[in-house]
């Protein structure tokens, strides 16, 4: 009996030690487990906050990019056209076409040259041989705030013979024919309108030979052709008089332009 009691007592003591030991261990580990749980919670919270911040930043970046593209589009669409523009006219000898345009307020520059053909960088001799397809022409740079394209067309008509299908005045050949070279549909419409108006103002009646063609590459003429009427005043006046240009213009237009 005593042996049994001793055995029972031993078992009880062992169980007590285990229980007490477990409680001690539990108590010792509790703060650590609590700290680890807290750390895990904090990490999850930080990760969630970081993800939310990234999402907000991404949304803001996309919004800023969209706004920037919209602003660029508005800037490009709202950018005004330059008031400095170019018109090109063929009216026979380019020496004689420079003075009336140079005298027009708003015209900034006139350059004699060749256009309408296929030869690149043609010379005066090549154009004169009628193998290039080019016309003698004038490039007029103007300020559209001071003079309109319509006004330039009036100057043009007043200085050509629109009935001459062989050239202009004493100069005959395809390179001397009259042409209005247009850059776009707006200029084409204005040129056609001015042609009809010119028909009504001409003192003579007949078929207009002046063409309206798309602009092509313009090649500056040799330097000695530029401002010829200023560099060689006597020769220019002699040529113009003998060509009968002013007399013929008076017959066609009188004071109508």
**DSSP secondary-structure letter at 204?**
S
Tell me, yes or no, whether 3 and 63 share the same domain: yes
Q: How far apart are CA 220 and CA 114, in angstroms?
A: 6
Predicted local confidence at residue 213, as pLDDT? 99
Looking at residue 166, the DSSP 8-state letter turns out to be S
User: In the listed set 49, 79, 109, which residue is the last one of a domain according to the structure?
Assistant: 79
Q: Is the pLDDT of residue 197 over 70?
A: yes
> 253 falls in which pLDDT band (50, 70, 90)?
very high
Taking only the tens place, the pLDDT of each residue in 213-243 is 999 999 999 999 999 999 999 999 999 999 9
The predicted structure's pLDDT at residue 66: 53
Query: Do residues 193 and 67 share a domain?
Result: no
Domain CATH number, residue 150: 3.30.1060.10
The residue from 28, 56, 79 where one domain ends is 79
Average pLDDT over residues 187-208: 97
The Cα–Cα gap between 4 and 9 comes to 8
Contact present, 158 and 100 (Cβ < 8 Å)? yes
Residues 25 and 93 in one domain: no
Domain with 71, as residue range(s), is: 1-79
pTM for the model: 0.70
Same domain, 134 and 12: no
Do 118 and 59 belong to one domain? Answer: no
Residue 45 pLDDT > 70: no
Q: What is the pLDDT of residue 61?
A: 53
The phi and psi torsions of 80 (rounded to 5 degrees) equal: -70, 150
Residues 95 and 155 in one domain: yes
Q: Is the domain of 28 the same as that of 100?
A: no
Same domain, 110 and 209: yes
Q: Give the residue numbers annotated as catalytic, written as ranges.
A: 93
User: What pLDDT score was predicted for residue 51?
Assistant: 53
Confidence of residue 68 (pLDDT cuts 50, 70, 90): low
Asked if residue 120 and residue 247 are part of one domain, the reply reads: yes
- Both 71 and 160 in one domain: the answer is no
Q: What is the pLDDT of residues 116-161, one digit of tens each?
A: 999 999 999 999 999 999 999 999 999 999 999 999 999 999 999 9
Structural domain total, the chain: 2
Q: Which residue has the tokens 């007399």?
A: 247
243: its two tokens? 């060509």
Average pLDDT value over all residues in the chain: 82
Among 45, 79, 113, the domain boundary falls at 79
pLDDT in tens, 164-184: 999 999 999 999 999 999 999
Question: Looking at residue 98, what is its pLDDT?
Answer: 99
3-state secondary structure of 181: strand
Bridge partners (DSSP) of residue 211 are: 179
Calpha distance 57→54 (Å, rounded): 5
């Amino acid at each position: 009996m005593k042996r049994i009691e001793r055995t029972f007592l031993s078992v009880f003591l062992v169980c007590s030690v285990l229980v007490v030991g477990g409680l001690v261990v539990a108590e010792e580990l509790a703060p650590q487990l609590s700290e680890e749980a807290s750390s895990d919670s904090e990490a999850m919270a930080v990760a969630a906050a970081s993800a939310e911040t990234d999402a907000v930043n991404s949304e803001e970046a996309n919004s800023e990019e969209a706004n920037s593209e919209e602003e660029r589009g508005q800037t490009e669409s709202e950018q005004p056209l330059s008031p400095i523009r170019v018109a090109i006219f063929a009216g026979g000898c380019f020496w004689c076409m420079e003075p009336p345009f140079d005298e027009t307020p708003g015209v900034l520059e006139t350059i004699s040259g060749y256009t309408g053909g296929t030869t690149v960088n043609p010379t005066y001799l090549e154009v004169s041989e009628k193998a290039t397809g080019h016309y003698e022409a004038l490039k007029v740079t103007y300020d559209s705030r001071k003079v309109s394209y319509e006004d330039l067309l009036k100057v043009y008509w007043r200085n050509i013979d629109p009935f001459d299908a062989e050239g202009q005045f004493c100069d005959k050949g395809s390179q001397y024919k009259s042409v209005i070279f247009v850059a776009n549909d707006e200029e084409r419409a204005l040129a056609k309108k001015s042609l009809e108006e010119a028909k009504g103002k001409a003192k003579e009646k007949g078929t207009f030979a002046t063409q309206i063609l798309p602009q092509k590459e313009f090649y500056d003429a040799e330097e000695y052709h530029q401002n010829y009427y200023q560099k060689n005043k006597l020769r220019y006046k002699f040529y113009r008089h003998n060509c009968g240009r002013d007399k013929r213009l008076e017959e066609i237009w009188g004071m109508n332009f």
